[in-house]
Amino acid sequence: MSFNMNFKEGKISGVEIKKLKRNLDRRGWLCEIYRSDESDLKPQMSYVSFTYPHIVRGPHEHRFQSDFFIFLGPGNFEISLWDNRKGSKTYGNKMIVYGGSDNPISLLIPPGVVHGYKNISYEMGMVVNLPDKLYRGEGKKEEVDEIRYENFLDSPFKIE
């Protein structure tokens, strides 16, 4: 794969960032992370991942899948997004978003938006994802819907 792309800072069409609210009481806190009355997204599965301090996951892109990430801690993350959709009005834009313990957010990433994140904490960081497609399809019998750009040395999608 050959790359010749220059990205500029700017918002990306279809990416939705929502500040999450922790409801505190004497027992601890509760946070709503997804409501079907606030989104057209229909999650098909969910998973939790923990990332070691200063480790990067991605960047990668899905052709058909939307990711719905929850960054609420523990840990803080720098999330990098690139609009790689040639027909998008924001094609060529790049965004950096911060989420986690210090800034709890949900982040909807549509297909064609390259994304990855780095744990910028000194502790393991937790991320929840509620994608709208099953990993490897029904019964895990399909190809993975993912282009892993970290495997290309000349990739313009870099997270330092």
Residue extents of the structural domains in the chain: 8-151
Q: Given a cut of 90, is residue 123 above it in pLDDT?
A: yes
pLDDT for residue 6: 84
Nearest Cα neighbor of 55 from 3, 111, 126 is: 126
Task: Enter the CATH code of domain 8-151.
Answer: 2.60.120.10
CA 45 from centre of chain = 15
Q: What is the pTM of this model?
A: 0.93
Q: What is the pLDDT of residues 30-78, one digit of tens each?
A: 999 999 999 999 999 999 999 999 999 999 999 999 999 999 999 999 9
For 126, the token pair is: 């937790």
Q: Given a cut of 70, is residue 2 above it in pLDDT?
A: no
pLDDT for residue 5: 77
CA distance to 2, 15, 66, 85, 132, per residue, from 39 (Å): 36, 12, 12, 22, 12
Q: Which residues touch 74 (CB under 8 Å, ≥6 apart)?
A: 100, 101, 121, 123, 124, 125, 126
The answer to whether 80 touches 96, Cβ cutoff 8 Å, is yes
